[in-house]
Amino acid sequence: MARKKTEQVFGISNEVLQDSYVDRGMLDRKLERYLLRPTHLALCGESKCGKSWLRKHNIADAITVQCRYGKTVGDIYTDALSQLGVALTIQQTRQDSTTAHADAQAGLGRGLLSLSGAVRADAGHSEAEVTAVVGRNIDDPRFVADTITASGRRLVIEDFHYLSKSQRQLFAFDLKTLWDYGCFVVVVGVWTESNLLISMNPDLAGRMIEQTIYWSRKDLMAVIDKGTKALRVRIAPEIAHRLIDDCFGNVGILQQLMLLLLDEAGIFERCERVTVLDEPECYTRAAEEYARQVNAIYQQFAKVLSAGIRARRDSTGIYAHAMKAILETPDDQLIRGIGLDELTRITRRREPRISKQNLRVVLKKLEELQVKGREGRGLVIAFDEGSEEISVVDRQLLFYRKYLPVEWPWDHLIAEASADGMEQLSWADALPREESVRA
């Protein structure tokens, strides 16, 4: 019988690795209760905190829709129904607007359409007749809700944070309607605001439960203990504490560090006898290798932000000053959140023309700059508009800057902005007084 491989126990995986899966804070039992109640559920937390594993472990056979930048609420419903064998045919109406009517691609789809009361319009109908039929398209929430409910499966929206703010707002209002029709949804994403969806639509109060995912040191140690036991490996206490310190409370970082540590130790499968890992240098090499592996991610993060900042260049260099202050914030404060007032004080020491109001506007736009377009890789830092705090939502960034010090581009952008500001100032000073005011 083949021995279990290390990647079947530790690492970042699209499947739940049961040998290192831990019921963090008895959250599995709590979710079991929530899923039996007539309510929507939101699972939130920083990147790689175990949201998807938690969902997959507790929700069997879900209808999972993966969000990405530019996706709309209509795309979510189309994706969900297509997974049930229901095709949506897009047609152009006489008024130059689009609609979609339903067809069934398979036996399951035909059965669901029958249960939800939806049938396809005959091919002989005119466009006006097709679009006038009620209850057969994605614009009708009752049709969507009834079709999903008839399937007996739970709709799960993954990476909700990739939707634009307007689409998130729209979906928050749709959630109330879906709830009215008895269709309960699980929303998974990265955000720092408490009860985000309820703040977008207060009618969701009492109709949605939000569960934040976080890990204690005890929970993280349990991951190490469970996985190493399955592999017949024992980690020296010194190295175990370094692992937990370096993962910054994030189980995904811990999982990947454990796999790389085993690689460095030359362990690739379950040991024949208990093997002790107690060389600090072995762990240091693993940590440095992890930092090198994610280097491209944060170089791309800096590239995307820099391009966005240059497109919004102003004479104060406010975007660059904000990023420099954020990226120089100590780990614990960046995890806890740095307030707008504090960030304003820091940036104004470097550039007195920066105002709190303008800085607030900039922080609201940072999210869009990070995820927009093909080159965006997702949220690294986020601004909570309610508490007016900015924090890191990708703890991997903290690990990266610890083990691979990097020169961020913000200093160059600040220098560019300062040069532009001096040129503008010199040009204005050369004008007559009344022209300078108009400029």
Per-residue pLDDT of the chain (439 residues), as tens digits, is 789 999 999 999 999 999 999 999 889 999 999 999 999 999 999 999 999 999 999 998 999 999 988 899 999 999 999 999 887 654 434 444 444 455 555 445 545 554 455 433 333 333 323 233 345 678 889 999 999 999 999 999 999 998 988 999 999 999 999 999 999 999 999 988 889 999 999 999 999 999 999 999 999 999 999 999 999 999 999 999 999 999 999 999 999 999 999 999 999 999 999 999 999 999 999 999 999 999 999 998 888 888 888 777 665 789 899 999 999 999 999 999 999 999 999 999 989 999 999 999 999 988 888 876 555 567 899 999 889 999 999 999 999 999 998 889 888 888 887 766 544 433 333 333 333 323 2
Q: CB neighbours (10 Å) of residue 156?
A: 21
**Closest Cα to residue 172, out of 61, 256, 76, 316?**
76
Those residues whose C-beta lies under 8 Å from the C-beta of residue 150, and which sit 6 or more positions away, are: 111, 112, 115, 116
CA–CA distance, 130 with 14 (Å, rounded to integer): 41
Q: Are 221 and 235 in contact (CB under 8 A)?
A: no
Domain topology for 18-212: Rossmann fold (3.40.50)
CA 283 and chain centroid, separation: 29
> Which one-letter amino acid corresponds to residue 69?
Y
pTM of the full structure: 0.82
**Closest Cα to residue 213, out of 246, 237, 197, 189?**
189
**Closest Cα to residue 11, out of 24, 26, 21, 25?**
21
Specify the DSSP element, H or E, that contains 233.
Answer: strand 233-235
Q: Are 302 and 408 in contact (CB under 8 A)?
A: yes
> Which one-letter amino acid corresponds to residue 174?
D
Q: Are 270 and 8 in contact (CB under 8 A)?
A: no
| DSSP letter (8 states) at residue 214 | -
Q: CB neighbours (10 Å) of residue 325?
A: 21
| DSSP letter (8 states) at residue 124 | T
Q: Is the dihedral of CA 122, 123, 125, 131 positive or negative?
A: positive
**Closest Cα to residue 83, out of 148, 143, 146, 35?**
148
221-278 pLDDT per residue, tens = 999 999 999 999 999 999 999 999 999 999 999 999 999 999 999 999 999 999 999 9
Domain borders along the chain are 6-12+216-290, 18-212, 296-429
